[in-house]
Structure 1
Amino acid sequence: MASITPSQPVREALARRVTSEPGPATEVAERQRAENAAEQKGELAPDRVAIALDAESQRFVSTLTDTSTAEMLRKYPSESQLAYSRAVMAYLRAQMGK
């Protein structure tokens, strides 16, 4: 039975492909890994978590803010998710009003 191995040009192409520069997905993954490592070390310590009800979408929104810089670090749900929920609620209100 014959062995299935790639030819020399194919092996060289694969070797070049593996050692090429990282793509955008790799860069994003590395950045997220570094952020997670910083959070675990305590370098990125948020001071304030706020939870509020968005009246239009009827969803709770949590925001994580660093009070020393007043920078919002995280928001859940995102603004696009809230916009979708607002649109759905507006549609439901219109249907109930008929």
Structure 2
Amino acid sequence: MMMEITTNMQVPIPPTAAASHSSGAADDKKHPVSGAEAQHSFGQIFKSALDNVNMYQKESQEMTQKLLTGEVDNLHDVIISSEKAGIGLQATVEVRDKVMEAYDKVMRMTL
């Protein structure tokens, strides 16, 4: 009998500067988001996501080390932490590839 293990990996995303400054569609016209605010907001979200991936990688390394030294008896926890780290890294690589693809398209545009 094969068991299916599912994990619910959630990455917290902080609200953007636009969402924190406006409460409705009418307020968007009163408080437009500047390019610097949007850039800072995107940067903060991206940094937060990278920090989470890094945290999962470190947790996986710690769990693997504890397994090797005999401090952890439950192999499932080690495998789950390893999978979280792998999925996080894979998602980060996909985002990087999409950003690079978008950058290439913008650079090829003629004005």
- Please give the TM-score of this superposition, normalised by the length of structure 1: 0.30
Q: Flag the structure with higher strand content.
A: 1
Higher relative contact order (CA 8 A, sep 6+): 2
Task: Give the greater-gyration-radius structure (CA).
Answer: 1
Q: Flag the structure with higher helix content.
A: 2
